[in-house]
Structure 1
Amino acid sequence: MNITQIRNATQIISYAGKRFLIDPMLSPKGAWPGFPGTAHADRRNPMVDLPFGVDKIVDVDAVIVTHTHEDHWDQAAIDLIGKDKPVFVQNDSDAALLRSQGFTRVTIMTDDLTFGDIRISKTHGGQHGTDRAYAVPALAELLGEACGVVLRHPDEKTLAIVGDTVWRKAVADELQAIQPDVVVLNTGYAHVIGFGPIIMGQEDVLNVHFLLPEATIVATHMEAVNHCLLTRRALRDYVDANQISDKVAIPLDGETVHL
């Protein structure tokens, strides 16, 4: 297995002979406005360029879309990914959206499906914001659902992509049950003004390490969209101070982590 960080939550994961593109955000730098009502909304997104050409990024066997917020599934991805590419999504609503966009091989992830001889499972414990945020109906609708994904194969380590969620008991319980060897965490600590974080931050990296001390954590979703407050440098300082740097990879855009 290896994981190539592209930008934000976009990664290419090579796993058991297949290449998966995760949550593609493929727009050029500054293509669309910052998310209104969030931290640093005056900054345009994406905040950085792609590390290499789109042709290389879309040369994959399948795409996994954990949810359809613009920083995980943007218009450029819709335009540039082949419409006959297998795409895995979380629910009926996202499947209907992608089919309306012309994609012909859309599959809704379940608790256990297969792609070749790779088992793909959807997780259910995540929540894309705090309970306080979800208590506001309009904000709850905007934040919506966001799943995680688990990949398994007899010849590979078990990989859990936790997705856009805050740290909560349901996430911990799922990770405890899965016992993954590798955990991809979205750790940019994105904030909605007045409601706080909608994804994990540095303390949550430590939470996952305490829960799964033997697992390798790969930190992503940083320094690419306006509302993310945690930087790679700050996270590196934090994991160094907590003496867990041997268990946490913080790849730069374009860098590959070999596992």
Structure 2
Amino acid sequence: MKLHHLRNATLVIEYKDKVVLVDPMLGAKGTSLPFTLFRFKPRRNPLVDLPESDEILNKVTHCLVTHLHPDHLDKDAEIFLKEKNIPVTTSIDHASELIKRGLNVTQKLEYWKEEEFLGGKITGIPAIHGYGFISKPMGHVVGFYIEMPEEKSIYISADTVYTEHVDKVLHEMKPDISVVACGTAQLDFGKPLLMTMDDIIKFVKNSPNQVLANHLEALNHCPTTRAQLKIELDKHGLLEKVFIPNDGESKDY
């Protein structure tokens, strides 16, 4: 299995002839509005260019969508998915909206219900997008736990804070690779939308195996940098456990 980190939460999971695109944000740098105007500098998103990715994107056979925010499914990504008629797996909460947008939704997941997926298995995992009241307007989010024959299991926790659901996956399902969003995103009001640094450290400590950290340095409402994350992980003796990819970087597992 090979993981390709493109930008933000956009990930490609390559299993031989099966290539799964996760949460595609494919638009050019600066083509979207800022997510915050006052708490952080109001720069247009994405903050960085999409790295050269035509080769891997041309191989995509399937797509997973955790939720409908534009940093996880933007207009360019919708065009890409429609033009190539890529089969999409998402939660039952998002399926009808994606069908309205013209996407080829072939699988609608219910939480904790294991289903067949590309010759393996996939389970939808609840995700809570923010601490306190802010999670309500953020809407539904689904994480994914994927098991493929003769491959490492992977948990894509999605945009979430640390919850009992996250804890259950880490302790009971014991993924070989756990993906966690580390940007500590915040809007101009309310608490963080993603895990605080304390909860990121908790996630890494409780992960039974390797961790991939993403959702970093691509959006104006995500203040945590790769350098800051490395410093905190190092303080806790966890740095070697975590892969913090640069945009466009890949790793074999």
Secondary structure of the 2:142 match is coil
Out of 119, 122, 125, the residue aligned to residue 123 of structure 1 is 125
Secondary structure of the 2:169 match is helix
Question: Matched residues in 2 for 1:183 and 1:38: separation?
Answer: 33
Distance 1:100 1:132, change over 3 A: closer
1:220 equivalenced with 2:214 (yes/no): yes
Residues 98, 106 of structure 1: 8 Å contact kept: no
Matched residue, 2:88:
87
Out of 230, 236, 245, the residue aligned to residue 236 of structure 1 is 230
Question: Matched residues in 2 for 1:104 and 1:253: separation?
Answer: 28
Matched residue, 1:137:
none
Count of residues in Structure 1 that have an aligned counterpart in Structure 2: 250
Shift of 1:167: 1.3
CA deviation string 1:101-146 (max 9, x = no partner): 222343212321222312111002x210112324xxxxx23x0011
CA deviation string 1:87-106 (max 9, x = no partner): 011124x2112211222343
Shift of 1:22: 0.4
1:106 equivalenced with 2:100 (yes/no): no
Q: Which runs of 5+ in 2 are unaligned?
A: none
CA deviation string 1:167-186 (max 9, x = no partner): 12332123222111110001
Distance 1:196 1:38, change over 3 A: farther
Matched residue, 1:4:
4
Corresponding letter in the other structure for 1:159? I
Q: Extract structure 1 runs of 4+ deviating beyond 3 A.
A: 36-39, 53-56
Distance 1:169 1:59, change over 3 A: same
Residues 83, 103 of structure 1: 8 Å contact kept: no
Question: Matched residues in 2 for 1:63 and 1:38: separation?
Answer: 34
Instruction: Indicate the percent of aligned positions where both proteins have the same amino acid.
Output: 32
Question: Matched residues in 2 for 1:105 and 1:209: separation?
Answer: 33
Out of 167, 171, 174, the residue aligned to residue 166 of structure 2 is 171
Corresponding letter in the other structure for 2:123? S
Distance 1:105 1:177, change over 3 A: same
Secondary structure of the 2:180 match is strand
Between stretches 6-15 and 164-173, larger displacement belongs to 164-173
1:198 equivalenced with 2:199 (yes/no): no
Residues 169, 175 of structure 2: 8 Å contact kept: no
Question: Matched residues in 2 for 1:35 and 1:194: separation?
Answer: 11
Tell me the C-alpha RMSD between the 2 structures: 1.9
Q: 1:9-88, aligned counterparts within 5 Å?
A: 9-15=9-15, 17-36=17-36, 39-40=39-40, 42-54=42-54, 56-81=56-81, 82=83, 84-88=85-89
Distance 1:190 1:150, change over 3 A: same
Residues 4, 255 of structure 1: 8 Å contact kept: yes
Residues 83, 104 of structure 1: 8 Å contact kept: no
Out of 145, 165, 173, the residue aligned to residue 150 of structure 1 is 145
Shift of 1:54: 4.3
Q: Which runs of 5+ in 1 are unaligned?
A: 135-139
Matched residue, 2:252:
258
Shift of 1:10: 0.2
